[in-house]
Each structure stands twice: as structure tokens, then as C-alpha cells.
Chains A and B, each alone.
Chain A
Amino acid sequence: MEIDLTNNTPVLLSRIGRPESHTLSDYRADGGYEGLARVLRDMKPEDLIQLIKDSSLRGRGGAGFPTGLKWSFLPKDHPGPIYFCLNADESEPGTFNNRILMEEDPHQVIEGLILACYATRSVTAYYYMRYEYPRAWERLLKALDECYSAGILGKSVLGSGFCLDIFPHRGAAAYICGEETGLIESLEGKRAWPRIKPPFPAVEGVFRKPTVVNNVETVACVKQIVDRGVDWFKSLGVPADPKNPRDPGSYGPKLYCLSGHVERPGCYEAPLGITVHQLVDHFGGGVWKNRHAKAAIPGGISMGLLKADEFDCPLDFAGPGRYGCLGLGTAAVVVMDETVSMVDFLHNSARFFAHESCGQCTPCREGTAWALRMLERIRAGRGRLKDLDLLLEIGDTIGIMPGTTICGLADGAAWPLKNAIRKFRSEFEEYMQRTNPSGYQQTDAVPALSSLSHGGH
């Protein structure tokens, strides 16, 4: 069932596109930081945690873990310090919603971050931003200066006695730093190798202290829930499945990123649960050049692939999973038209993950590299039908789901392999028969074409 979009009004993006939207004065003219002042005056931290629990807000960074529950895992009466890390290491291919928020409305993010720190009793927050966002970085530094000058940060936030520092910390172009324990290791000045859990960050995180890591859009939602209330938030989205007691539902607005072969790529706000069709047609103006869609990535490349006849898939936390995908991920939809070769798509995906595997776990380090070398050979016209089974074997055995790796990067590498080959197998077979007529049925071992190429960060 499609979500009714007739009264869809952007909230997270309501201030985007105005020339001064990034300044404190413009933000305050729209009532900015009034919600924070009210919370500091009227609510205890535990009340704010309860409010966010009641809203059923789920993290927007990819995993969809309930935010209030994550906060409540912090130990009670801990002597401190408790640290907060804002995950602004957005780097999932296809995803740019956090960049838009940080460039155009940095104070909305900062207000949400301060609220989240108050709820979790954090007095130090690290704002970990990927290197490749220089404009967002510059605007963050200016916005933080404005906040310190205006008494919104520092010894006594808005005169409340609540003390908070936010320190910006810049990454160095590594995808794995978006994994929350990879981020923590990176912040500590080490290689960004994800940690084995438990202990979870809430118990022992950065600098061995209790730590919360939340995504940029998640804290922006916190600010909106404080301003507009739980009822507003829960009036949007998809209710919990009554038959599944573990489903927390998919409530609230979501920033959908749309790119690839559509007429109007962009970041669009809509209630959770719109279908791919709605996103592509209502917001994106349809597939470009009057062509037909062939496939789409549902939520960043890690989530796998939907065929064109699966575009009725609702983009809520439970939707893509019902279509064989990994999940909603970052809700970044990338559309591919009928001219795209799935061999090329899968090669691009495999190259990304081989480049970004951190190298800590052997199944991921070797599996992503093997997959890439096989796809390079297939693409060069030396593919064998057997390679498809070998690629699927990699896809089925690397990741936290089969239990062979520490973090989910390998699951993200596996899903495009599994979805592309299982949903488009005949295309791969036809490609091999056409490009390798004498060798496609070969089954003995063959060498890779060459070692992996280098030349970037």
C-alpha cells in the first residue's frame, strides 16, 4: 500500500535552500534552540530518554536500532565521563542526506546533538565528519563558534548549568570509520579496525568509557520530536507489525537520497514507507530519457538490489528485507536503467568493497578481493559459469550473519553479490556464453588477470 503524499511537508528539510539557513540568527528566527531551552528547564535527562523511547525513533545510519533503547544501555550512576560520538562519516555509496543537513542546516544537527548529550549525560561530544565534506566542515566550525559565543555550548548551556563541549574531528577517507566501533578506534588515533562486541560501546566505548554513537539524521529527528511531540512523529510512517512482537515499527520522516538514472536526483523527505515507485516517480520525475528501469539499490549499495518489478517495495525498516535485500540501510535509492549491465554493476560494487575492507578479518579481506578479481576476469571475457557459484559461495560465507567477520562491512559486500546473481543469473550466463564461447563451461582453476590496481585513497 502506498503512503499518501498529498500533505507531505518537509520538516527536517524545511529550512533548506535559503541563503542564510546555516547561520545562527536565521536558525533562531525559526525558533531554533527554543526546544533545547525548554528541555533544559523542564525535563530531566531520563524524561528525554523516555520521550525518545515513546517516539519509537530508530537510528537513521543504517542499522535501524531504536535510539532510546541504545541510550538506556548506558550504565546507571556511572562516575563518568560518558562520551557522545556523532557519526558524520557518511560514505555509503548513494548516500548524501547528512551532507545536506550539515551544509544547509548545521544548527539543527547541533541542537539535536546537544539534546542527545543531555539525555545521555555526556559532557563531551566528538563530531566525527568524513574528510570529503569540506563545506560541511567549514560550516560546522562556524556554527560551533557561534554556539560558544552565544552561550549555547560551554560551561553552562543556555544558562542551565549543563556543561557541554563539542569537538569536531576529521576523518581521513576510510569507509570503515562509519562503523561505530571503527569510528571509536579511529577517534582514539588507531587504525579503524572494528571491535568485537560485547562489550558494546554503551558499556565500554571510546577511551574505555561508556559511549553513544548516533547518526546525524538521528539527532536531527530528536530535535524535531522535542519540538513537535511523539504524536506527530508517530503519525508518520508504518506501524509495528502486530504479528511480530520484536518489530518496533518505522515511524517518522526519512531523508531519501535518489540518484542514478532518474530525471531529478536529490534528497527528498517523506514518511517512512513510501515505495520505490513513489520515490522515483513522485519525487524523481521518473526514469531519465524516457527509458525503463532495470533495477535499483534500495538503501545504499550494501543493501543489495531490487528488480524493476519489485519497485512496489516499501522503503521502511522491514520492507527491503521482504524482497531479499539486506534492509533499508541509509534509504539511498540508486536507479539503473535498461542499458546497465549487471556485470558492470557488480564489478563496481565488488571494487568498492575490496577497496574499503579494513583487512582485519580474513573472510572479508580475501573474499572481497577474490570477488573483485573474478569479476575483472568475467568482465574481460574470460568468465566461466562456475564463477557464479564461487561468487555466491563468497556471498553466503562472509559477514556477521554467517558469523565469520567482526563487523557488517562484509554483509554489505555479500548482498550485492547474492542479489545480483540470484535475481539476474541468466544475464550473467548469457554474458559469459557470448564473451567467452570457448571457455565458459571450463571448471578447472584459472589465474586472475592481474593483481588489484592501485591509485587512490
Chain B
Amino acid sequence: MPSTEKKSNSTPVLNNEMRDEIRKYFARYPTRQAVTLPALHVVNKYLRHVPLQAVVEIAELLELSPAQVQDTLSFYGFFPQQAPHGEVRAWVCRSISCALRGGEEVLAHMCAKAKIQPGETTANGKLTLEFGECLGACELAPCMLAGDQLVGHLTAESSEEFLASCGALGTS
């Protein structure tokens, strides 16, 4: 059968560390399916994306079909599958409070400086730049979430400093 053949040919992508971390969630929920989102977060934390092979392996761990995991994964648009996101993943807010204070201009400026479009990763893999919908930091507008860091009061200057700090300023 093609599927078995494919499975046996694929190198596992989940290591024991990831598997143990996922298993720790089992006791928290009455169903294994509820561990889907935590498992996706675990894999994304280590691999910066969740490739299809990881979906298959998560499904095995959770006693689900791969389609069930893929269905949930694809709903969120949060977990990249084709390639890892950058070493830093940053979201620049484009919702109303930030837009009123120049958020969209900052995002356009950053994209021009990093020579990428929203959603893309710089060629050197340092940064993935995305738009975000309301980041819940409207008092700091315009704002950005870069990894675990909330950056407020963004300006053209401060956003360039950020790009430089993560090695994402495009060269021309």
C-alpha cells in the first residue's frame, strides 16, 4: 500500500524530547484530541514549522487520523508547513487602534527595508514578518509582537533598529 510505504520511508521528525513533552499533556484532558493544539505548539517551538510528517506522527501519538490533526492545523493559519519560519517571527498589528497611529505604514516600511512581503521570511532565514490582527496592546499603538517581546510605539526608526538587531535589513 502506498501510504505504508511512504510512512516507512519517512524519517521521523518528532524526537523523544518532543514526544515526552506532548505526552505530559495527556493527563490534563479527558480526550487525546484535546492535546492537538498543545502538540502543534510543541512541534512548532522546536521545528519552527509543522511538516506533514509531523502531523502524521502527532496523529499516531494522539490516536487520531492525520486528517483530523491537519484539519485543525489548517484552521488556524498559525503553523507553517512548507518551511520553517524565521529565527524571529514578528507580527505587526494592522487593526484599528494601531492603524490610526501609523501601524500599516510601519509594516510597509519594514517590508520594504527587509525586502519581503508580509508573511514572508528573509532570505537569510533571520526574520518572518507578518501582519497581526489586534495584538491587544492598543495603548502602545502602533505595536508589534516579536517572538515573546511586545514592542510598542513603533516608528520608522525603531522598526529599522529592530530589523538590524535581528539581521534582517535587506542589502542592496
A residues lining the B interface (CB < 8 Å): 90-96, 98-99, 130-135, 138, 165, 167, 169-175, 186-192, 207, 257-261, 265-267, 297, 301, 332, 334, 336, 340, 344-345, 348-349, 351-352, 355-356, 358, 454-457
Q: In the complex, what residues of B have CB within 8 A of residue A92's CB?
A: 134
Pairwise interchain contact B134-A174, C-beta atoms closer than 8 A: no
Q: Does B138 have its Cβ within 8 Å of any Cβ on chain A?
A: yes
With A173-B78, A174-B76, A332-B138: A187-B34 Cβ-Cβ less than 8 Å: yes
With A174-B75, A455-B120, A457-B76: A93-B95 Cβ-Cβ less than 8 Å: yes
Interchain Cβ contacts under 8 Å between A and B, 24 examples: A91-B133, A93-B95, A93-B97, A94-B97, A94-B138, A132-B91, A132-B132, A170-B37, A172-B79, A174-B75, A189-B72, A207-B31, A260-B97, A261-B101, A265-B97, A265-B139, A297-B96, A345-B96, A352-B96, A355-B133, A358-B75, A456-B91, A457-B76, A457-B91
Q: Does B130 have its Cβ within 8 Å of any Cβ on chain A?
A: yes
A96 CA to B40 CA, complexed, in Å? 26
Pairwise interchain contact B97-A172, C-beta atoms closer than 8 A: no
Pairwise interchain contact A167-B136, C-beta atoms closer than 8 A: no
Chain B nearest CB from A333 CB (Å) reads: 10
Chain B nearest CB from A269 CB (Å) reads: 14
Pairwise interchain contact A172-B139, C-beta atoms closer than 8 A: no
**4 additional contacts, CB 8 Å, given A189-B33, A260-B97, A457-B130?**
A134-B148, A167-B28, A169-B38, A356-B133
Q: In the complex, what residues of B have CB within 8 A of residue A297's CB?
A: 96
Pairwise interchain contact A96-B139, C-beta atoms closer than 8 A: yes
Residue on A with the closest CB to B69? A189
Pairwise interchain contact B139-A259, C-beta atoms closer than 8 A: yes
Q: Does B20 have its Cβ within 8 Å of any Cβ on chain A?
A: no
Size bin of chain B's contact surface: 35 or more
The 7 closest A-B pairs by CB, nearest first: A455-B119, A189-B36, A259-B138, A191-B75, A455-B118, A189-B33, A456-B131
Q: In the complex, what residues of B have CB within 8 A of residue A457's CB?
A: 76-78, 91, 130, 132
Q: In the complex, what residues of A have CB within 8 A of residue B41's CB?
A: 170, 172
Name which of B38, B78, B139 has the most chain A CB atoms within 10 A of its CB: B139
A135 CA to B100 CA, complexed, in Å? 25
Q: In the complex, what residues of A have CB within 8 A of residue B135's CB?
A: 132
With A96-B136, A99-B136, A455-B131: A186-B37 Cβ-Cβ less than 8 Å: yes
Pairwise interchain contact A189-B141, C-beta atoms closer than 8 A: no
Residues of chain B in range 75-121 having any CB-CB distance to chain A below 8 Å: 75-79, 91, 94-97, 99-101, 117-120
Chain B nearest CB from A449 CB (Å) reads: 17
Q: In the complex, what residues of B have CB within 8 A of residue A190's CB?
A: 33, 36, 71-72
Query: Which residue in A90, A258, A260, A334 is a CB contact (below 8 Å) of B136?
Result: A90
Pairwise interchain contact A456-B132, C-beta atoms closer than 8 A: yes
A131 CA to B150 CA, complexed, in Å? 12
Chain A nearest CB from B140 CB (Å) reads: 8
Chain B nearest CB from A424 CB (Å) reads: 15
A96 CA to B137 CA, complexed, in Å? 6
Q: Does B2 have its Cβ within 8 Å of any Cβ on chain A?
A: no
Q: In the complex, what residues of B have CB within 8 A of residue A260's CB?
A: 96-97, 100-101, 138, 141
Residue on A with the closest CB to B78? A172
Chain A nearest CB from B150 CB (Å) reads: 7
A261 CA to B98 CA, complexed, in Å? 10
Residue on B with the closest CB to A97? B136
Query: Which residue in B79, B96, B133, B140 is a CB contact (below 8 Å) of A334?
Result: B96
Query: Which residue in B38, B78, B97, B120 is a CB contact (below 8 Å) of A259?
Result: B97
Residue on B with the closest CB to A355? B133
Chain B nearest CB from A285 CB (Å) reads: 13
Chain A nearest CB from B153 CB (Å) reads: 11
Q: In the complex, what residues of A have CB within 8 A of residue B71's CB?
A: 190-191
Pairwise interchain contact A135-B136, C-beta atoms closer than 8 A: no
Q: Does B56 have its Cβ within 8 Å of any Cβ on chain A?
A: no
Chain B nearest CB from A173 CB (Å) reads: 5
Q: In the complex, what residues of B have CB within 8 A of residue A356's CB?
A: 133
Q: In the complex, what residues of B have CB within 8 A of residue A187's CB?
A: 34, 37
A167 CA to B28 CA, complexed, in Å? 7
Query: Which residue in A188, A257, A345 is a CB contact (below 8 Å) of B33?
Result: A188
Pairwise interchain contact A349-B119, C-beta atoms closer than 8 A: no
Pairwise interchain contact B37-A189, C-beta atoms closer than 8 A: yes
Q: Does B145 have its Cβ within 8 Å of any Cβ on chain A?
A: yes
Pairwise interchain contact B31-A134, C-beta atoms closer than 8 A: no
Residue on B with the closest CB to A96? B136
Pairwise interchain contact B136-A132, C-beta atoms closer than 8 A: yes
Q: In the complex, what residues of A have CB within 8 A of residue B101's CB?
A: 260-261
Q: In the complex, what residues of B have CB within 8 A of residue A265's CB?
A: 97, 138-141
Query: Which residue in B34, B78, B118, B138 is a CB contact (below 8 Å) of A189?
Result: B34
Pairwise interchain contact A257-B96, C-beta atoms closer than 8 A: no
Chain A nearest CB from B145 CB (Å) reads: 6
A207 CA to B35 CA, complexed, in Å? 13
A134 CA to B144 CA, complexed, in Å? 13
Pairwise interchain contact B79-A93, C-beta atoms closer than 8 A: no
A351 CA to B133 CA, complexed, in Å? 10
Residue on B with the closest CB to A187? B34
A351 CA to B95 CA, complexed, in Å? 9
Residue on A with the closest CB to B62? A189
Chain B nearest CB from A198 CB (Å) reads: 22
Q: In the complex, what residues of B have CB within 8 A of residue A96's CB?
A: 136-139
Chain B nearest CB from A104 CB (Å) reads: 13
A365 CA to B79 CA, complexed, in Å? 22
